Amino acid sequence: MSETAFNCQRCKLPLHIDTSFKDLSNSQLHLLASRKRDSTNDLPQNQSIPKERLQLLNKAASSAKSKNSNWPQQTAVESFVILPQFSGQDDTDVEREPQIDDDNGEDITKVLSTRVNNLSKIFNILSFKGAIDYPVCKDCAQILLANMKTQYEKISKERDIYLQFLEKLQNKSTFIPSKSQDSLKEIDDLKLKELERLNELKLLEDEKNQLDNEIKSAQDELSKLNLKQQERLLEKNLQELKLRDSINKRDQMKVEYEYNLSLLQSLRKTNIYNETFHISHDGRFGTINGLRLGSLESIKVPWPEINAALGNVVLLLATIAARLNLKLEGYKLKPVGSTSKIEKLEIDNQGKQKVIILECYSSGEYQIERLFNHSKLDNSMVAILEILKQILDKLLQFDDTIELPYKMENDKIGNASIQLLSKIYDEEWTSACKFLLTNLKWILAYASAHIPAPR
């Protein structure tokens, strides 16, 4: 077993046990392991406390106890730790060392183990009895001794102070003289004053209670007023919200009104006829709504486009006639898009009215078809020119100073024939169609601007 089986409990360094601890007798072991004597036996027998001082001490202790009743109290039993008392060698748990045989190594090991166990028990008992954990090294023991010395000096000073205070108490006279008549009278006066003060205090308390009740009533009234004020504020906020909504709606309606008024002014300035029938020109061609009317050798216009343009011309003539409230003589317009027609009313030899259908369209791409259809188309173009003359005569009734850009006479307009005859394309016919659209645009502008619409 190594000699460094123990370590210092403070610095944790290994310890070498002094040889005096290795060969302790049983009586020495029991002496080290025995508990402390009762602390009450350590008091000197000759030191006694006088009965009067003892009563005074008990009175002071009871007073201090009543003031500090909330503090946890310790009894005398709780201030001590009782360890098992060794009454003799037979009652101890310290093991007896076996006899060592020099020739037996097992006995040596057993002896060392027994010593270590005994020392461990002794150190545990010593550590349990005091505030120091054993074993400790020499340096740590010196430090502990220095600390204990300092603590001892401090406690000694406190003891001297307590002794001086006790001496003052002992020297103080405890004689209480009898009460004189003056003192009794003074006590009676003080009692009367106390009674008066109590009455005044009662009056003040009654007044305080009355004031508290008034304050409570005022607070209740104030709470009611605050509640009413909150209700009024809420109502005011709701009214302001409604007012703002009304203002917003008014502003919105005002903006909508101004927009609609501006739109109305724009619509009033807008010529619906010019927007519906847009007449213009594309080089040498007159156009209506982007459709060319005419055909040249260098620029051949397909017949579906020409037919659509003629359909717009028939529709425009019908619109102007309705605007002027004009009933055409000998003609009825039938605008049907690219297959529009004109009904020509004639009286036969028998005096009966007959209707001749003039087709305002053609698909004359073939020689045989042209022989049958172009005469109908030419008659339709002449009829369109005659209808335009009737519209001009109606306008002259409103304003006799009206003069069209191109003069119309028989089948010519601006000295250009309106008939295509048997040709597929013709420069003169194309110019006549352009002149026709120009006169139509002028009549449309005048009629829409100066002639009120019929109701």
Nearest Cα neighbor of 423 from 285, 337, 300 is 300
pLDDT digits (tens, 9 = 90+) for 61-83: 565 445 444 444 444 333 344 44
**Residue with more model confidence, 50 or 128:** 128
Residue 454's pLDDT band (cuts 50, 70, 90): low
Q: Is the pLDDT of residue 104 over 90?
A: no
* Cβ-based neighbours of 300, under 8 Å, separated by 6 or more: 424, 425
pTM exceeding 0.85: no
Quick check: 440 pLDDT over 80? yes
**Does position 252 have pLDDT exceeding 90, yes or no?**
yes
Whole-number pLDDT of residue 62: 62
Residue 181 to residue 188: CA distance in whole angstroms: 10
Average pLDDT value for the chain: 78
Angle of helix 303-323 versus helix 427-450 axis, rounded to 10: 30
Residue 280: φ, ψ to 5°: -150, -160
Give one DSSP letter per residue of 152-213, joined into a string: HHHHHHHHHHHHHHHHHHHHS----PPPPHHHHHHHHHHHHHHHHHHHHHHHHHHHHHHHHH
Question: If you count DSSP H runs as helices and E runs as strands, how many of each does the chain have, helices first?
Answer: 10, 9
Mean of the pLDDT values across residues 251-271?
Answer: 88
| pLDDT recorded at residue 77 | 39
Residue 118, pLDDT above cutoff 50: yes
Which pLDDT belongs to residue 41? 47
Say whether the peptide bond before residue 405 is cis (omega within 30 degrees of 0): no
